Amino acid sequence: MSARDRIRDFLLKNVGKVVTTRQIQKVAQISEYARRIRELRDEEGLEIKSHIDRSDLKPGEYILESSKPRTTLGKRISPQLRTEILERNGFTCQQCGAGPGDPDPFNPNRKVRLHIDHVVPVSQGGTDDKDNLRVLCSACNQGKSNIQTVSEPALNILARIRKLPRSARREVLEALKKSLDSD
């Protein structure tokens, strides 16, 4: 049973009751429970609310409002759509500009992974339409974005450069270095 399964089970046993992060952490047996909660909410459509959604909840408190997931949402993005979005965004994180295989800024031993993110979260009515989807790296996706944001023109260029063969990317790098050195 995965951490996500354990959290789902626990929440379903406590529908309508306030549960705490501590309880969830204990059930999940992992520290990254927040991401699992987000998945349950965004991918499975479970109505998990926090203090952000409800003023009667304190930080660190959650409530599953209904045992029934929202029916209209919660379906996963198909592999085809995922590929389409990745290609459209040039395999480039739309927040920090990271590409696949770049080192994870929070864990240099690991590489970032690219995720498909909903610009307007599913929990707030966001859809799986292409214009509501974008690529985010694992670091930005976890909301750890004290990472420097890259401007839109730079992102577009980065995305195009990533599609070039290695030799051409090196040429771009050399040309950029030259132009920056002469500034």
**Cβ 42 to Zn ion shortest distance, Å:** 18
Of 83, 149, 73, the residue nearest 114 (C-alpha): 83
Question: Considering the complex, what minimum distance in angstroms separates the CB of residue 109 from Zn ion?
Answer: 18
Q: Does 150 bind Zn ion (CB under 5 A)?
A: no
Q: Closest separation between CB of residue 103 and Zn ion, Å?
A: 12
Mapping DSSP onto H, E and C, the string for 78-129 reads: CHHHHHHHHHHCCCCCCCCCCCCCCEECCEEEEECCEEEEECCCHHHCCCCC
* Contact status: 73 vs Zn ion (CB under 5 A): no
Question: Is there binding between residue 94 and Zn ion (CB under 5 A)?
Answer: no
Q: How many residues bind Zn ion (CB under 5 A)?
A: 6
- Residue 137 found at the interface with Zn ion (CB under 5 A): yes
Amino acid present at 26: K
Q: Which of 73, 140, 150, 159 binds Zn ion (CB under 5 A)?
A: 140
In sequence order, the 6+-apart residues with CB closer than 8 A to the CB of 142 are: 35
Regarding 19 and contact with Zn ion (CB under 5 A), the answer is no
Does an H or E element contain 18, and which?
strand 18-20
Binding site for Zn ion (CB under 5 A): 93, 95-96, 98, 137, 140
